[in-house]
Structure 1
Amino acid sequence: MCDENWSTHWMTYEDADTDRGIVHDVCNGIRLITDTGVGDPVETVALSIAGAEAAEALAQALEGEWALYTPGQVTATASAVFSQLEGVLANLRALNTTLSRMEARRETAFTGAARERVEHAAAAVEFACGFAPAAISELQSLPQLLELPADAHELLTAVAGLLGPDAELRTFHGVGAYQEDDSGFGCGCEVLITHDGEVWSLHRGDSEWTMTRENDGKPQPDGSTTYASWIELTPTPTTSHPQHLAAEIRRALALPPQR
């Protein structure tokens, strides 16, 4: 079995997940079962399928250019993946024990060959699992050369600079007076982007980065403006990579790539 010390990295990242609580949101469905204890085969099979779907989805996610920003995020992800590998090892051997119990209860028979195959697979996984500590140690030693924005305002400022002269940062608070809005609407500042003679507003709304076209706004009697349509961008965190958000804006507006 692997040394358990390496596995604390993904646990630490989960504890520090204070931006949107996405780790807890994704895991809550599984915890509905595990917190009360798995009690029947339906729940057991459900957990196995959930794990398979998560692994498949992760493989697809990691294909994206902006899947991860920092070596620390790579380390947390690798730690979780190796932890899954250790889980696979334990599960394969538990499956063999389950087959033995089923044969003893006369619910099946002649499980020897099947259990031997599963044990061979478990041995291969155990060999691969042994590389985890050294791999995580190497990842931990990688330098982080990127400093991500600390808040929504820093991200807006950086994106405005990346988009060039056609983008203007409009600030609605004084220097040093910035405070994140707990409702998910940032500080109220925006970036105005001129494209094909039209002006678009990039702003924070309902914990999402959103773009609206100024000409689509409908003034209301109370002085506010409403929009019937808007563009929701990825990524959503306030500490996202500025180049990632800028790339999504360019894609949404079909702007040429940054040079």
Structure 2
Amino acid sequence: MLTNQAAAAGLDNDTSWTALYEEEADVHGDYVTEVRNAVEYGLNDPRDSAEMACVAAEVADASVKALLSEWSLYNPAGRCDRRLRAPGPASQQRRRPDRACARGRPDRRAREAELPAPAGPGQPANLADALATLQKVANTVNGLVDRHASTTVRALHAAPSTAVLPDNAHETVVAAATLLAKQCDQKVTLNRRHPDETYEDDGSGFGCGCDVTIAAGAEEFNFHRGDSEWVLTRESDGREEPGGVTAFSTWATLSSTLKTAHPQQLVDDILGVVAADRT
């Protein structure tokens, strides 16, 4: 049950906030699929428990690292990425201590062995003490999630997008060229290979054929969409081949691979590469 006092678009009191990220996991499924396959296959022995616990710890750490990026909340496809950021880690924090405690509850463990009594003063902590500590942590985390997660998710879900963002690779190239022309102190040229309105995404990892050249002193850089990545080549690294084609064996791969990457993120990368080359 959602506990917010105010309504938000797309959510009501019958909507589980955890369902938002669970539905999105069906779309962003590369990592999720591996875990779901393991669950479907069966998690039945201590090794499975240990492996899943290690996965949970790695994911928690990776989530924090991912959120440290200034572009981590960029929502290129207009979907629920912004609301996904809150329930995912919140739910993870809620479930991990809960389930750890569940493994050690007396009614479960009684089938294997009797739990010892809590250690007395001056005695080493034992399993009962460890489970009591886990339960205390679980109660603290659960209380925070119950009070804040739903409200946070509602606010993120209802927040309108104010940025005009690209819908495809061609629009990304054009937008990046516009920003480069304003922010780069060198000559920037957008090389159009087709009219804007004629581009149709063919579903491949490549772009539309348009590119951007940056004349930086005696060097020239070229920004374009490569094979499922954004790349920046340096003209002096090119090798002339028969037919007038220039081939490159080295190039700079930019930080985002999305066709609809935020243009400013790409421009920051480009300017960084150009500046490093000139020093």
Shorter chain as normaliser: what TM range?
Answer: 0.7 to 0.9
Which has the higher mean CA deviation after the structures are superposed, 241-250 or 125-134? Answer: 125-134
Task: Please say if 1:137 is aligned against 2:151.
Answer: no
1:183/1:140 CA distance change after superposition, 3 Å:
closer
CA distance in 2, matches of 1:213, 1:138: 45
Code of the residue aligned with 1:215 in structure 2: it is: S
Aligned to 1:117: 133
Per-residue Cα deviation, 1:62-106 (whole angstroms, up to 9, x for no partner): 122222224953311102122213322531332223x65445423
Task: Please say if 1:212 is aligned against 2:233.
Answer: yes
Code of the residue aligned with 2:83 in structure 1: it is: T
CA distance in 2, matches of 1:32, 1:14: 13
CA distance in 1, matches of 2:144, 2:98: 13
Per-residue Cα deviation, 1:85-143 (whole angstroms, up to 9, x for no partner): 3322531332223x654454238744443332222222212211212212212222322
1:2/1:86 CA distance change after superposition, 3 Å:
farther
Contact residue 169 and residue 208 of structure 2 kept, 8 A = yes
The offset of 1:209, in angstroms, is 0.1
Task: Please say if 1:69 is aligned against 2:74.
Answer: yes
The offset of 1:36, in angstroms, is 0.9
Aligned to 1:246: 267
Code of the residue aligned with 1:6 in structure 2: it is: W
Aligned to 2:255: 234
Q: Which runs of 5 or more residues in structure 1 are unaligned?
A: 18-22
Task: Please say if 1:10 is aligned against 2:21.
Answer: yes
Task: Please say if 1:224 is aligned against 2:248.
Answer: no
The TM-score normalised by the length of structure 1 is 0.85
Task: Please say if 1:53 is aligned against 2:58.
Answer: yes
Code of the residue aligned with 1:84 in structure 2: it is: Q
Structure 2 residue matching 1:254: 3-state secondary structure:
helix
The offset of 1:160, in angstroms, is 0.5
CA distance in 2, matches of 1:211, 1:168: 14
Code of the residue aligned with 1:14 in structure 2: it is: A
Corresponding residue to 2:174 among 146, 151, 157: 157
Task: Please say if 1:193 is aligned against 2:214.
Answer: yes
Corresponding residue to 2:88 among 80, 84, 101: 80
Contact residue 217 and residue 225 of structure 1 kept, 8 A = yes
Aligned to 1:20: none
1:103/1:205 CA distance change after superposition, 3 Å:
same
* Identity across matched positions, percent: 31
The offset of 1:191, in angstroms, is 0.7
CA distance in 1, matches of 2:58, 2:130: 25
The number of residues matched between the two structures is 248
Contact residue 2 and residue 86 of structure 1 kept, 8 A = no
Aligned to 1:24: 29
Code of the residue aligned with 1:129 in structure 2: it is: V
CA distance in 1, matches of 2:45, 2:244: 58
Contact residue 206 and residue 227 of structure 2 kept, 8 A = yes
Per-residue Cα deviation, 1:146-199 (whole angstroms, up to 9, x for no partner): 122100111110111111162211111234211224331111111111112211
CA distance in 1, matches of 2:112, 2:101: 19
Code of the residue aligned with 1:209 in structure 2: it is: W
Aligned to 2:120: none
Code of the residue aligned with 1:105 in structure 2: it is: E
Instruction: State the superposition RMSD in angstroms.
Output: 2.5
